[in-house]
Copies of this chain bind each other. A is one copy, B any other.
Amino acid sequence: MTLSRRFTAEFVGTAFLLAAVVGSGIMGDRLSGGNVAIALLANSIATGAALVALILTFGPISGAHFNPAVTLADAALGGTTWQAVPAYLVAQLAGAVLGVFSAHLMFGLEFVQVSQHARTGGAQVFSEFVAAFGLLSVIWGCVRKRPDAVPWAVGLYITGAYWFTASTSFANPAVTMARALTDTFAGIRPADVPAFVAAQLVGAGAATAFFRWLFPTLQRSAADVVVPHERAS
């Protein structure tokens, strides 16, 4: 699997993920008559469902990270090579932005927007730490014994975490940055992005260190299982 194919898979997959997050937020918001719980229920179910499908679809090509925190953690465990990391991060960020623009186009909104949705304060930031810690825990916990379950576990975790974290679980730096570019239900004020991203990276790093201790053989597993195509790149 060449790097250009993997780059493209990350790019298109992340674009679809953001279209799903932002688009379902717009649709839920428009139709729910002001009941935010119904909008969030639609948003969380649609995102989780799309995420399972997208990971199943693009996983065999790029590993379906769609998330800089996952790519960095995977590289730290010897999975993704460090040479491939910049391409992954660029693909994820560019794809995320394209996804937001596509959602705007599908719903007849202005292409470029800036969010005014404040998501700030210690409770929100701690929520993002928990959200990312949980996401990476789910990935590393499933990879060793049941790699086939990863797409399902990740999708279900995200659907749940939308509700049990106060921040609705962004848990993904590329997603967070791109959501600053939409002034709709799923948006986040640009000023609030850095703290979210920092908390996500700390949470992802903590979970990765934790699972290296829990599973002493995790490092080799990651390289073999998550990105089996890596060797050929």
Q: Whole-angstrom distance from the CB of A134 to the nearest CB of chain B? A: 6
13 more CB-based (< 8 A) A-B contacts, given A46-B161, A106-B164, A108-B121? A9-B214, A22-B164, A24-B163, A32-B36, A37-B38, A44-B45, A49-B156, A50-B156, A50-B161, A56-B149, A57-B137, A106-B165, A108-B166
Q: Whole-angstrom distance from the CB of A205 to the nearest CB of chain B? A: 16
Interface string of A72-96 (1 = CB under 8 A from B): 0000000000000000000000000
Question: Once the chains bind, are B166 and A27 in contact (CB under 8 Å)?
Answer: yes
Q: Whole-angstrom distance from the CB of A158 to the nearest CB of chain B? A: 8
A49 to B138, CA, bound (A): 12
Q: Whole-angstrom distance from the CB of A82 to the nearest CB of chain B? A: 24
**Residue in chain B with minimal CB distance to A38:** B37
Which among A164, A166, A213 has the greatest number of chain B C-beta atoms within 10 A?
A164
A20 at interface by CB-CB < 8 Å: yes
A46 to B159, CA, bound (A): 6
A157 to B53, CA, bound (A): 6
A51 to B16, CA, bound (A): 21
Question: Once the chains bind, are A50 and B157 in contact (CB under 8 Å)?
Answer: yes
